[in-house]
Amino acid sequence: MSDLETAEHPEQLRRVAIDTVSRVEGHGKVTILLDDDNKVHQVRLHIVEFRGFEKFIQGRPYWEVPVMVQRLCGICPVSHHLAAAKAMDMVIGAEHLTPAAEKNRRLMHYGQILQSHALHFFYLCSPDLLFGFDSDVARRNIVGVAAQYPEIAKKGVLLRKFGQEVIRMTAGKRIHGTGAIPGGVNKSLSREERDALLADVYHMLSWSLEAVHLVRKLFEQNLETYNAFGRFRAHQVSLVRADGAMDLYHGGLRARSMDGDILFDHFDYRHYWEVIFEDVKSWSYMKFPFLRSLGPEKGWYQVGPLTRVTNCDFIPTPLADKERQEFLAFDEGRTTGATLGFHWARMIEMLHAVESIKDLLHDDDIMGDDLLVSGERAGRGVGVIEAPRGTLIHHYRVDKDELVIRANLIVATTHNNQPMNEAIRQVAIQYLNGNEITEGLLNHIEVAIRAFDPCLSCATHALGKMPLEVELLDAEGALVSRLAKTADGALSA
Amino acid sequence: MVAPLLVLAVGNESRGDDALGPLLSRRLADWVAGTEMAVEVELIEEFQLQVENTLDLEDRKLALFIDAGNEPQSPFAFYQAVKQQMEGHTSHAVAPEALLGVYAMVHDEEPPPMFVLCVAGSAFELGEPLSPQARLNLEQAFDFACNLLQQPGLNSWQGLALSHAEDVEPAIVAALL
């Protein structure tokens, strides 16, 4: 853990706060404590947790939960939908779903992975990557990208639309879908729906492959900067299939140490609390999960695309696996430990998602009509899934009246709380230390956070929110100056 | 055939007054159903605007975006969205003005005119019901939206927007004028 978590004499330092980290959902804030020479003494990412989620779910009938949890998050509702459905499978004793049910759920999940990763790459991070982290802010935006790379914006929209269509057809509706229910699904894909998706899937495959190659090219052009940027070492946790393959829908938990050793493998996630625990810190609303065996100080870990691509033994689709092999071998493996390696891994996963969609569309089980199973009831349900941003855990207790009496959710952004803090501390040391703070330098902090694609409390939105505020305060906490970053990216006093 | 008028409502009905968008959309859907307007209007609900919603704007003559807002002083604000480039994109979601900008980028043509009906809310916590004031605002906004749907046209909507200009931020009024 970095020494920059807590400064020795914070009262003697100048404080820089970046409120609402731009291009990140919800309310994120970074505070940086500097001395008179602009030397960095403390860096913290503060995030408002998904407050009230567990309480919101308590008292609801178990069968209602997979639908209502979609309202927790407007960005990846399908991930919550499926994690809750998996937990409720356990509650109703549905240990093995029918092939039609599992494949339709997987199809829905890959649609979610595709649309989420496409948005992040084509719209959220491409301006930083294509123009540079401290390039002219007037140019560092998707308009600038579209001007120079006109196909990027269009492909981003069409990839997302395809993913949304997969979700709509498997979930039944654009939003508030009901596709996954305890014990299976309530609909399978019709032949017409399958054919409609098949008509477009090869374009998506081609564009996804191009995106992987684009990220590789960016790494080749900026090798030293990208590999060193915000670099830190972390333990890794993800689901893997029984044979060690990447599996974003189901598997056992694998933890790998920062030295590459397996800490535990194929651990039954239905007992996740035996290996993962959640710590709290006084300065953050968000919990800090850690591996029990290593303790809170040394046991923090990373999840998400970069972890999944490096933690599995192989990817079970050929194009993505080939790209994974090239990624692992690139620059003698150094990129696998780079914070910006998230972008490359994310595109490999997007390619895997499209390949998986194609394969499922060619599988007649996807149109099957044997959709539900059930078994012996249980009072506890745990569902774990690899959501776009990382491992998502849903844990419920259900009483004999079929009501949820306890819920615990650990979302990917919570797992990545400490890794994001580590990344921005490294960036602060690398770029801010001793320098006058400029918009371009502050953007470096945001670039590091955006690599994780965090999704905060994102289901509420309202017109009129200010995207970014920076406050400079003296040692007593008095406001010295204030900057606001407006919707057009300009700084104003 | 694509309905010439698109009503695009966003919000999360489990987050207090953020439900204003979907609730108003459903009231309008019920009101339109069975009338001659049914073939002229398509209503779509979303959690948030996303870049792919530009495709929903294709072949439309007019679009109405409905959302809850936490700033209007009046029960609702109504104004024409002015196309903005998606600069400083700060969220996984997209503002209506930026959506028009994305449309122009993706389609190489001007987007259809879009107007914003922003209904005032004050409480957006998870699990909270609609606030009493938001309920009143919803009623007024519904009456206003019915009037809009009965006279779908750029000129008539611009006239109504100007008559509500005092409810809108000065920068937007300036752009309107």
- pLDDT digits over A296-315, tens only? 999 999 999 999 999 999 99
Whose tokens are 């007037």? That residue is: A138
Residues of chain B positioned with their CB less than 8 A from the CB of A175: 45-47
User: Do A316 and A330 contact (CB within 8 A), yes or no?
Assistant: no
Establish whether this prediction's ipTM goes over 0.85: no
Average confidence (pLDDT) over A115-132:
87
pLDDT over 90 at A88, yes or no? yes
| A19 phi, psi to nearest 5 deg | -85, 140
pLDDT over 50 at B175, yes or no? no
CB-CB under 8 Å, B45 with A119:
no
Q: What is the pTM of this model?
A: 0.89
Helix, strand, coil in percent for chain B, rounding step 5: 45, 20, 35
Average confidence (pLDDT) over B50-60:
93
Q: What is the dihedral of CA A131, A135, A138, A144, to 10 degrees?
A: -10
CB-CB under 8 Å, A56 with B90:
no
Average confidence (pLDDT) over B156-166:
87
CB-CB under 8 Å, A119 with B51:
yes
Among the listed ranges A366-370, A380-384, B91-95, B167-171, which one has the minimum average pLDDT value?
Answer: B167-171
pLDDT over 70 at A147, yes or no? yes
Identify the pLDDT of residue A111: 97
Q: What is the pLDDT of residues A376-424, one digit of tens each?
A: 999 999 999 999 999 999 999 999 999 999 999 888 988 998 999 999 9
How high does pLDDT run on average in chain B?
87
Residues of chain A positioned with their CB less than 8 A from the CB of B105: 142-143, 146, 153-154
CA distances in angstroms from A292 to A274, A287, A380, listed in the order given: 7, 14, 22
* Residue B60: partners with Cβ closer than 8 Å, 6 or more residues away: B2, B3, B4, B5, B6, B112
CB-CB under 8 Å, A467 with B51:
no
Average confidence (pLDDT) over B168-177:
45
CB-CB under 8 Å, A463 with B71:
yes
Q: Considering CB atoms only, which of A160, A462, A487 is closest to B50?
A: A160
User: Do A153 and B106 contact (CB within 8 A), yes or no?
Assistant: yes
Q: Where are the alpha helices (DSSP H) in A243-374?
A: 295-298, 305-311, 318-329, 341-361
Query: Which element (helix H / strand E) includes A45?
Result: strand A40-47
The domain limits of chain A are: 3-47+418-492, 97-173+186-372
Q: What is the dihedral of CA A136, A215, A301, A433, to 10 degrees?
A: -30
For CA atoms A249, B127, A414, A87, the dihedral sign is negative
Average confidence (pLDDT) over A331-343:
96
The domain limits of chain B are: 5-176
- Structural fold of domain A97-173+186-372: Cytochrome-c3 Hydrogenase; chain B (1.10.645)
Average confidence (pLDDT) over A180-193:
97
Q: What band does A14 get if pLDDT is binned at 50, 70 and 90? A: low
Q: What is the CATH number of domain B5-176?
A: 3.40.50.1450
pLDDT over 60 at B173, yes or no? no
Express as a percent the part of chain B with pLDDT over 70: 86
Among all residues of chain A, which has the CA nearest to that of B101? Answer: A143
